[in-house]
């Protein structure tokens, strides 16, 4: 069994390998339950080093990991990384409540081929007991997760180039779910069984995760992201991709940028959010969500929150998992605040230190 969930761990760095950058976050926990950000850094990746969440250039990713560790001045060598939801098969199965963990592991190894459509020697499998079964008190619900070993191995290879090791290999949706526990107190209706849509607009992929009462009930990825804005800036103003990316973040573009480039892109994002929600309503018993939470690098674009709220008729906010955290002396607090929406997965992974 490979730790797709990972067992009890000591301090780990949360490392999110996305299609445009590598993000590192290290948390500690102070007296009480308050977290503190000890170190964080973001390092851009060369174009096409990661394509649609698959690592295609392990050396380039390893090199970026080495740089991000140096930037963050992190001393911890063990990490928690994640594979994307589309790479993972999950299944809820029932097992005898009297079995211990080792007996469950043996039984799953014997029966796994019933649930997994790949040869078993090609997959990493893990399981986690969810609690008593609602339909049979003698059984427990067990979440089974499996992904191709190559998805795990290539992440381990990239980490080892940077002198790091994987203590935990998680699933992005579960990392997001963990980070959501830090967002929930910011919602007005906490305590109720909320249905919350987290829309993570990355560089090339947009992921909708819907949580009902804090648990993921739906996730869907579509190809769309902030890179489209960068490419339009590059095309219109004759810049290199790198220059366009910097101009997007730092400003200084011609006067027509707001109307000619940014507004159409904002409208495209709103369209994607509305469409993703319609897919969710069509595929589930739900016909509304209580909140939309915008995450990913694109979430911070001025005016986007208001446009999404107006289009969907749903209260919308930008994700900031660090709103109630202390910040260590090595951390640039204003840079952390700017990057907060894109650090949800890294934050959920760093929280594995306290399982």
What SS3 state is found at 285?
A: coil
Q: Are 176 and 198 in contact (CB under 8 A)?
A: yes
Residue 1: Cβ-neighbour burial (10 angstroms; 0-12, 13-18, 19+): middle
Q: Which of 85-89, 195-199, 252-256 is modeled with the greatest confidence?
A: 195-199
Residue 145 dihedral angles phi and psi, to the nearest 5°: -130, 140
Q: Give 331-353 pLDDT, tens digit per residue.
A: 999 999 999 999 999 999 999 99
Secondary structure element (H or E) that encloses residue 299, with its range? none
Q: Give 150-192 pLDDT, tens digit per residue.
A: 999 999 999 999 999 999 999 999 999 999 999 999 998 766 7
For residue 150, what is the DSSP state? H
Supply the pLDDT for residue 14.
98
Q: Give 97-117 pLDDT, tens digit per residue.
A: 999 989 999 998 888 888 888
Q: Give 19-32 pLDDT, tens digit per residue.
A: 999 999 999 997 77
Cβ count within 10 A of residue 32: 5
d(CA 32, CA 52): 39
Supply the pLDDT for residue 30.
77
Secondary structure element (H or E) that encloses residue 161, with its range? helix 149-161
Beta bridge partners of 3: none
Supply the pLDDT for residue 190.
60
Supply the pLDDT for residue 1.
47
Tokens linked to 25: 């976050």
Average pLDDT in the chain: 92
Give which of 35, 32, 15 is closest to 23, Cα–Cα. Answer: 15
Average pLDDT over residues 187-207: 89
Whether the per-residue pLDDT at 7 is higher than 60: the answer is no
Q: Give 33-91 pLDDT, tens digit per residue.
A: 789 999 999 999 998 999 988 999 999 999 999 999 999 999 999 999 999 888 888 88
What is 196-256 written as a DSSP string?
EEEEEE-SSEEEEEEEETTEEEEEEEEE--THHHHHHHHHHHT--HHHHHHHHHH----TT
SS3 sequence, 314-337?
CEEEECCCCCCCEECCCCCHHHHH
- Residues 71, 72, 77, CA angle at the centre, nearest 5°? 110
Q: Are 156 and 141 in contact (CB under 8 A)?
A: no
């Amino acid at each position: 069994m490979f730790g797709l969930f990972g067992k009890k761990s000591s301090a780990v760095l949360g490392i999110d390998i996305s299609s445009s950058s590598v993000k590192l976050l290290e948390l500690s926990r102070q007296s009480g339950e308050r977290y503190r950000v000890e170190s964080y850094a973001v390092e851009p990746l060369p174009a096409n080093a990661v394509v649609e969440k698959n690592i295609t250039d392990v050396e380039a990713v390893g090199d970026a990991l080495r740089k991000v560790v140096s930037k963050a001045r992190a001393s911890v060598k063990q990490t928690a990384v994640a594979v994307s939801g589309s790479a993972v098969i999950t299944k809820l199965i029932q097992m005898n409540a009297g079995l211990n963990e080792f007996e469950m592991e043996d039984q799953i190894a014997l029966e796994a081929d019933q649930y997994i459509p790949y040869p078993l020697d090609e997959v990493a499998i893990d399981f986690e007991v969810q609690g008593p079964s609602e339909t049979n008190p003698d059984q427990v619900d067990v979440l089974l997760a499996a992904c191709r070993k190559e998805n795990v191995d290539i992440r381990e290879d990239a980490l080892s180039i940077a002198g790091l090791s994987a203590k935990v290999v998680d699933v992005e949706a579960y990392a997001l779910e963990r980070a959501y526990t830090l967002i929930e107190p910011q919602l007005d209706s906490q305590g109720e069984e909320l249905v919350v849509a987290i829309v993570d607009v990355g560089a090339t992929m947009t992921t909708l995760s819907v949580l009902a009462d804090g648990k993921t009930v739906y996730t869907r990825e579509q190809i769309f992201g902030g890179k489209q804005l960068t490419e339009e800036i590059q095309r219109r103003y004759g810049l290199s991709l790198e220059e366009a990316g910097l101009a997007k973040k730092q400003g200084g573009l011609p006067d027509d940028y707001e109307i000619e480039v940014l507004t159409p892109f904002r409208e495209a994002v709103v369209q994607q959010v509305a469409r993703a929600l319609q897919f969710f309503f069509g595929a589930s018993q739900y016909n509304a969500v209580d909140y939309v939470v915008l995450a990913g690098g694109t979430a911070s674009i001025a005016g986007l929150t208001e446009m999404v709220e107006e289009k969907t008729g749903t209260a919308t906010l930008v994700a900031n998992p660090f709103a109630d955290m202390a910040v260590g002396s090595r951390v640039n607090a204003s840079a952390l605040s700017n990057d907060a929406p894109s650090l949800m997965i890294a934050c959920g992974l760093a929280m594995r230190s306290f399982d």
